[in-house]
Structures are given as structure tokens and as C-alpha cells.
Structure 1
Amino acid sequence: MKKLLSIIVVLLAAAAATLYFSPTALLASTQSLERHLAGLSTQDIQVDEFNIRYYEGGPADAETILMLHGFGGNRDTWLRFSRELTARYHVIALDLPGFGESSKPDVSYDVASQVERLHGLIQALGIRKLHLIGNSMGGHIAALYSARHGDEVLSLALLNNSGVTTPTKSEMFQRIQRGEPNPLVVRKPEDFDVLMHFVFATPPAMPEPLKRHFAQQSMANREHYDRIFAQLRERYVPLEPELPKIQAPTLLLWGDQDRVLDVSSIEVMKPLLHKPSVVIMQNCGHVPMLERPAETAQHYQDFLDANRG
């Protein structure tokens, strides 16, 4: 028994040392475990000048769900959410061009450009029909794609999406209008905590070394993100004229505590859609698939089941 306790103590000490001295290694191990639990593997595909990295899993002959992350995010956004879906669906979660480990050439990453890149990717993957789901900026892209390439879209799910002028301005846009820094861009280490409290109603517990690691990663990309955010604003495509073109059943899912994009967006979008469904999650922020992945996935599965066929 003493020998077993000694081994456990050594292992815990080793884990603590790994976390402190190499958060990158710990993060890689954690992501590998999450991928395994979700039944996903990492893939790459070249589409025009972009090498696009993505996760893929689930039965190859099942219906495809394609997932699009938000501004500053990446494909890991969907890991725990995907865990609930890969038994029944062919799941693809992208690093959108310009984000994550996909190519980042010096081009525009406005929503309309991303829609056409997405169309090229879907054609390259040989997908004829799919379910689209997107969060924030990814929801804006998914909605515009569904309006412009609707014959490919079986259903659309928009989670706290951008793209509409809301009756109530969100805290983020109030800050930006006052000339304050964009809270989604990390410029100094302490900004990472600000970001976490801004996008989550209840931020997840995270060891300090991992916080520092994520802060450093985000700070390294701040100029790139500032440039993309400016492009999104300068080449903004409003969804109000586009939403009536969408024929697919559409889920509008929002966290009621979203400080990035106000929940009143639903009041604008619902009357413009042909087949809307609405879910408002209480005490939840801007990224419900991260904050409450199993619950969000259940809402999404209920939506898919209700609209099957």
C-alpha cells in the first residue's frame, strides 16, 4: 500500500511539474483525450491557396454536420459538443481560413469571402447536403451560406450569431462605440481573464499556467485579429435581407447573459425566417457549446429530430 501511495505521489508531482513547466504538452494531451472521447481525428485539405485543418468523425455514410467557430476561435470550440453527436452523424469542425491551424495569407477574411471559401471546401470534400451550425461570426457565415447556397443545406443552427442590428446594443458594441479596446482581443496577460468573463456567464476553472499559455497565444495573434475585425466591420453584410431567402429549418439558440451579441437579436431574426425554432439558455453566455456542451447538444439534437424529413 505504501508503495502504491508513493507511486501516486510521484505521478501527481510529475503532472504538476508538466503543467507548470510545459502547459503546451499538457494541453496537447488533454486535446488528444478530448478528440478520442469525441471520436474525431485531425485532417487537412488544400483548397485554392488555403490549407484547411479540421476535425472529422462519425459514420462516413451518415448525414454531415459542419461546424463553424466564432471570431478568435478554432475547431477545438466544438470538441465536447461533438462528443454527443458523432455516434449518429458525420461531423466536421473547421479551423476557418485565417484561424487556428489553417492558412493565414494576407487576404480579406470578411464574411462574404469566407462563404465562398466554405463553398469551395464543401465541394472539395464531396459533400452534397449538410447541416450547418455556427457560433458568433461562424453563425453569420453559416446564415449567409444558407441564403446563397440553400440547395445544399438541410438545416441551419445559429448560436449567438452576428450579422443583425439588435434592438438592444450589446455591451461589446457599446464599448467599441465609446472608443474602448475590443474585449475579444487579448493585448496583455490580464486581458485573458477579462475575455473569459466576457464570453462566459460562468467561466471554467483553469490552472494559471494554462491561462498564461492561452494569453500568450492570443497576444501573438492580436494584430492579425485586429485586422480581421476591421475587415468584418468594413465589409459587413447585414443578414436582414438574406434571412428570408433561407428555406431550411433554423434553430436560434442564445445564452441570455451574452455580453458580446445581445439576445434581442432573436426578435429581429425570427420573423424573417421561414421555419424558426428558438432556445434561450438561462445563465449562459456567448459560447453555449463551450459553457454547457451536453445541454447545448441536446437542444440541437431535439431540433434535428423535430425537423427530420
Structure 2
Amino acid sequence: MVLKVQIDNYCFSYCSEGDSNHPTILFLHGFMGNRFEFKQAIAVLSKQFHCVAIDLLGHGQTSAIDQRTDQDVFYTIQSSAYFVIKFLDLLRVDCCFLVGYSMGGRLALYLTIHFPQYFHRVVLESASAGLSSAEVRSDRLAKDLQIATKLETGDFRLFLENWYQQSIFANLRSHPHFAQMLEQRLNNSPAQLSRSLRNLSTGMQPSLWEKLSENEIPLLLIAGELDPKFVQINRQMQKLCKFSQLEVIPSCGHNIHFESPNLFIEKIKTFFVL
């Protein structure tokens, strides 16, 4: 069932499962995902928690009510965080658990650092603290702008097939339900995804590395063994953040909650019930 709530000029779509009297977990999907990203995990966790998953701006069925004000500024990480906090306020969720994957993980870390009063504990799956160098951010943004143009002008299915040829998704491609996941991605709008990528790119995001030492919210950092880049990134994050712990999941790449859902659920339950 699709639920909707209006925040300023936007209509946000989300789903809610479990008893609302139980502790709430908010799930933030990755790039090209939607509110169904964590469907398998939510089916299990909703027995103990109130699970809420949102379509972030540019994804799923979240959209602008008045297209004339559908401006790029609303797609930045700062504005995305603002919308998430307004969403929690509208749902009257004073404090909750938070789970973010990849792009949603970067947003989750931004929320944790800038709005710590809203979160008990946070799980970051295959996430980063951004890019510390302005030069590296500029290079990354240039690459993402090229990708955004391909999204707008090319065949969307072909784009997806090429996207998942990246080495970090090698294990994911052999998953028996990979084809179904690909079909779900096709429910997004290429134009809106392009706008999201242009403005929520790691190249656009302010670095959060220097803020990690200030964080006091317990973090569970999860990375896949077959995703060495993010294993290294998360090891660096763990060293800087004393309230964090790292789990490297065996035989998994970038998308752990899809490749190994049972182990992913186990890690979350253990971390959230401590």
C-alpha cells in the first residue's frame, strides 16, 4: 500500500509496516532504488519494529506538486535531509533507528551528524563520508554529470544493464532475483534520476570526514568483503569515529541487504536491541 504525505511543494511516497507503537526504523534506499529496496528485511523486522521506507526525491513515486518549482536545489543532500526531518516530524516520530544504503547511507550519515537528536542508532551499508579533497570532488562531479546526461538521453534499460557491469556488482549479477531487481529499477523516471545524480552526487556533497570524531550516535558500518573500496573507506571511518563498529560481510559485494538478506537482518537486530 502506497502512503503519501505532502512536504512543502512535494508529495512523498512511503510504506509503513509493523505496529506503530514499536520502535521505528527509517530506511533510506540507494541511487535508483525506492521504498521497496529493503522489502525482505522489513518483512522480518516489522515483527519487532515499526518499519518505514520512503521514496527519496527523484525516485519512486515521490514528486513535485507544482512542476514549475521543481528546482535542482531541492535534490541536494542538505535539502534531502530537511525533507527527511520534516517527514519524521509529520509522522510524529521524535527519535528512531536509521538504516541507509549507499547514497541513502551518505544521507543517513549527514542526518546523524546534523540532527543527532532524532536517532538512537544508525546502520550505514556500503556508505561513505564523502570526498575530502575539493579536486577529487570536482572530478567525481564531472563523471556523474556525464552519467546523468546518458540517463536523460539514452535507453534506460541499456543504461541499467551497463550500470550493473561495474565490478562492485559482480556478485549481485549472479543473484537468482537480479532480473526482478532490474525490473523494479525501471519503475523510476530517468529524468528524475538524472536530476538526483546531478545534485546528490558525492562530488556535490560536503565532506563529512572532519565531523566523524564529533559523532556520539552509535554507528554500525557494513561493507561487503567483495567490495574492497568500501571496506577500506569504512575502516577509515571506524578509526575516526569512536562510537562505531565495522562488520565486513563475507561473499558479498556492494548490495549486502539483497545478496545476503538473512545475515543483514541478523546484524541489524543485534545492533538495535543492544
Per the TM superposition, whether the score is higher than 0.5 is yes
Q: Shift of the alpha carbon at 1:91?
A: 0.6
Q: Does 1:286 align with 2:246?
A: no
Q: Which runs of 5+ in 2 are unaligned?
A: 133-138
CA distance in 2, matches of 1:136, 1:237: 16
Q: Once the 2 structures are TM-superposed, how far is the Cα of residue 85 of structure 1 from its aligned partner?
A: 0.4
Find the residue that maps to 2:53 and give its secondary structure: strand
CA offset digits 1:12-31 (Å, max 9, x no partner): xxxxxxxxxxxxxxxxxxxx
Measure the CA separation in 2 of the matches of 1:273 and 1:302. Answer: 20
Q: 37, 42, 47: which one pairs with 2:2? A: 42
Quote the Cα distance in structure 2 between the aligned partners of 1:60 and 1:160.
Answer: 28
Answer yes or no: is 1:118 the counterpart of 2:89.
Answer: no
Counterpart Cα distance in 2 of 1:44 and 1:212: 25
How far apart are residue 115 of structure 1 and its match?
0.6
Separation in structure 2 between the aligned mates of residue 196 and residue 81 of structure 1, nearest angstrom: 22
Q: 1:250 aligns with which of 219, 227, 231?
A: 219
Partner residue of 1:52? 12
Please give the secondary structure, in 2, of the residue aligned with 1:62. coil
Whether the aligned pair in 1 keeps the contact of 2:145 and 2:198 (CA below 8 Å) is no
Equivalent-residue separation in structure 2 for 1:101 and 1:195 (angstroms) = 22
The match for 1:270 is: 238
**Residue 157 (structure 1) shift:** 0.6
* TM-score between both structures, scaled by the size of structure 1: 0.73
Write the deviation string for residues 70-103 of structure 1: whole angstroms up to 9, x where unpaired.
Answer: 1111011010111220110011011112211111
- 5+ unaligned residues in a row in structure 1: which ranges? 1-40, 167-172
Query: Is the contact made by 1:53 and 1:101 (CA closer than 8 Å) also made in structure 2?
Result: yes
Match of 1:230 in 2: 198
**Residues in 2 aligned to 1:70 and 1:276: alpha-carbon distance in whole angstroms:** 21
Q: Which structure would you say has the larger Rg?
A: 1
C-alpha distance in 2 between matches for 1:301 and 1:59: 16
Aligned to 1:86: 46
Note closer, same or farther for the CA distance 1:257–1:120 as it changes in structure 2 (3 Å cut). same
Superposition TM-score, scaled by structure 2 size:
0.82
Deviation at 1:60, TM superposition (A): 1.2
Q: Provide the alpha-carbon RMSD of the alignment.
A: 3.1
The structural deviation recorded for 1:228 is 2.2
Aligned to 1:169: none
Of the three residues 21, 24, 28, the one matched with 1:68 is 28
- RCO (CA 8 Å, sep 6+): is it higher in 1 or 2? 2
User: One-letter code of the match for 2:15?
Assistant: Y
- Written as runs of structure 1 = structure 2, the 5 A alignment for 1:105-184 is 106-107=70-71, 108=73, 109-165=75-131, 181=147
Kept in 1, the 8 Å contact 2:144–2:198? The answer is no
The number of residue pairs the alignment matches comes to 257
Distance in 2, matches of 1:178 and 1:73, equals: 17
